């Protein structure tokens, strides 16, 4: 199981307290993870790193709306697999719920 | 170089063999500082999975014992730096420059993302966008081809999409931000389409026809009763705008009065002309003496 955290650095659409709380708990958890500054930025650049994230089994992604994340990966030419990917929405859900799902 | 070109530096926050673990606060602060400044960070833990390395340059950062670190392949673009020597952000910036990785700009990644589960390839977005953001691929499928051309904070193309298939993930409200598309969102879009259909499918053509109809109507409606009504309306306006008293307005002649007066004036003029001709003919031509020559 891989974990990906998106910091949504270039816009203020994810509540700061939620994303900081998720990152802090992730950082303290002893769990391996990848953190990216901004998935939108990576998608716009068609960053090959997205391919590495999309490949290789189950992934949990803490970012924003699942529909947005799905099509951001697709736009970068690296669609997410149809199964085995959970997208957790930091725009709407609480940090506690997100972390619970991420570390389950 | 455009803002969407180049590779990002990937920072690996290393706490394995050959390094000393970071404290919780230091780890979190390092992570958030690097992310807030546009770096990508991986925290590896032995026996757990992270995204495999690609060909982007890598900075291995931590409290490192440089002599005890595991070897890396000669073909890999990897830099080792110890946090005991310098601050994380400063180190990452130095390595980014040395490795030729992408220099970050403060920008808002604003561009349309197409939901192909909803898109019907109608091309409305392509014809609507003035900035050449959209194009078609080899299979004649709509695609976003020039993300850089998109105007930040403009979601107009998503509003014309009849299928609610265009997202702007940085937008504030749903469904444009990627939130679930609800029945009322689709109905709203369908209503837009219906309006266009009602107008004959060509909005500008419809407006032109309406203008022509109005002109035609104006020319056929010029009858007397409407003219009188119009006159009455104008008088009312005169009274209101120029503060003309009712009694003055009452003395203004009616249309019949004016016509009758015109007939009388015409008859009088003809009579005068006839008399004048008679007088001129009967009078003798003046002599030179009479003229005083």
Q: Tell me the nearest-neighbour CA distance from A79 into chain B, angstroms.
A: 12
pLDDT at B17 (0 to 100): 86
Query: Residue B179's closest chain A neighbor by CA?
Result: A65
Instruction: State the Cα–Cα distance between residues A56 and A50, nearest whole angstrom.
Output: 12
pLDDT at B219 over 50: no
Residue B262 has pLDDT above 90, yes or no: no
- Residue B265: pLDDT above 90? no
The rounded percent of chain A whose pLDDT value lies above 90 is: 85
Record: contact B109-A68, CB cut-off 8 A: no
**Between residues B217 and B57, the one the model is more confident about:** B57
pLDDT value at A46 more than 80: yes
For residues A53 and A59, give the distance between their C-alpha atoms in angstroms, rounded to a whole number: 8
**Which among B43, B106, B180 has CB closest to A32?**
B43
- Give bridge partners of residue A61 from the DSSP assignment: A4, A87
How close is the nearest chain A Cα to the Cα of B128, in Å?
Answer: 20
How far is the alpha carbon of A17 from chain B, nearest alpha carbon, in Å? 12
Cα of first residue to Cα of last residue in chain A, in angstroms, is 10
Asked whether the predicted pLDDT for residue B138 surpasses 50, the reply is yes
Q: How far, CA to CA in Å, does A71 sit from each of B64, B110, B118, B234, B276? A: 39, 14, 11, 63, 98
d(CA B157, CA B150) in angstroms, rounded, equals 10
CA distance B51 to A78: 14
Nearest CB to B49; choose among A2, A44, A74: A2
Position B292 scores a pLDDT of 43
Q: Domain locations in chain B?
A: 10-99, 113-181
- Residue B150 DSSP code: S
**Taking 70 as the threshold, does the pLDDT of residue B163 lie above it?**
yes
Q: Tens digit of pLDDT for each residue in B66-92? A: 877 767 766 678 999 998 767 999 999
Q: Tell me, what's the pLDDT at B218?
A: 44
The class that CATH gives domain B113-181 is: alpha beta
* Burial track B230-244 (b if 16+ CB lie within 10 A, e otherwise): eeeeeeeeeeeeeee
Identify whether the C-beta of residue B177 lies closer than 8 Å to the C-beta of residue B119.
no
């Amino acid at each position: 199981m891989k974990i990906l955290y998106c910091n949504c650095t270039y816009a203020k659409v994810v509540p700061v307290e939620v994303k900081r709380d998720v990152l802090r708990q992730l950082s303290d958890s002893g769990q391996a993870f990848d953190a990216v500054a901004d998935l939108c930025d990576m998608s716009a650049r068609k960053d090959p790193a997205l391919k590495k994230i999309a490949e290789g089994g189950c992934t949990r992604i803490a970012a924003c709306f699942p529909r947005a994340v799905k099509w951001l990966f697709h736009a970068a030419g690296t669609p997410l697999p149809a199964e085995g990917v959970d997208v957790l929405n930091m725009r709407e859900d609480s940090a506690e719920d997100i972390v619970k799902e991420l570390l389950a | 170089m455009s803002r969407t070109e180049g590779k990002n530096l990937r920072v690996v926050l290393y706490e394995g063999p050959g390094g000393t673990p970071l404290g919780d606060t230091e780890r979190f602060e390092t992570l958030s500082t690097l992310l807030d400044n546009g770096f990508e960070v991986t925290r590896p833990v032995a026996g757990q999975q992270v995204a495999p390395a690609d060909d982007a340059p890598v900075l291995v950062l931590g409290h490192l014992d440089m002599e005890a670190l595991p070897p890396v392949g000669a073909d890999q673009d990897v830099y080792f730096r110890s946090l005991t020597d310098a601050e994380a952000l400063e180190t990452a910036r130095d390595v980014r420059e040395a490795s030729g990785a992408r220099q970050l700009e403060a920008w808002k990644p604003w561009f349309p993302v197409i939901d192909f589960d909803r898109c019907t390839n109608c091309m409305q977005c392509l014809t609507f966008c003035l900035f050449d953001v959209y194009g078609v691929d080899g299979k004649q499928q709509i695609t976003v081809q020039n993300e850089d051309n998109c105007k930040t904070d403009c979601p107009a193309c998503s509003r014309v999409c009849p299928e609610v298939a265009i997202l702007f993930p940085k937008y504030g409200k749903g469904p444009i931000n990627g939130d679930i598309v609800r029945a009322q969102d689709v109905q709203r879009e369908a209503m837009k389409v219906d309006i266009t259909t009602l107008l004959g499918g060509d909005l500008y053509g419809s407006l032109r026809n309406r203008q022509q109809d109005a002109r035609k109507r104006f020319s056929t409606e010029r009858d007397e009763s409407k003219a009188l009504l119009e006159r009455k309306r104008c008088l009312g306006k005169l009274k209101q705008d120029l503060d003309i008293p009712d009694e003055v307005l009452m003395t203004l002649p009616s249309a019949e009065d004016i016509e009758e007066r015109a007939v009388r004036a015409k008859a009088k003029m003809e009579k005068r002309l006839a008399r004048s001709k008679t007088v001129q003919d009967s009078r003798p031509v003046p002599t030179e003496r009479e003229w005083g020559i």
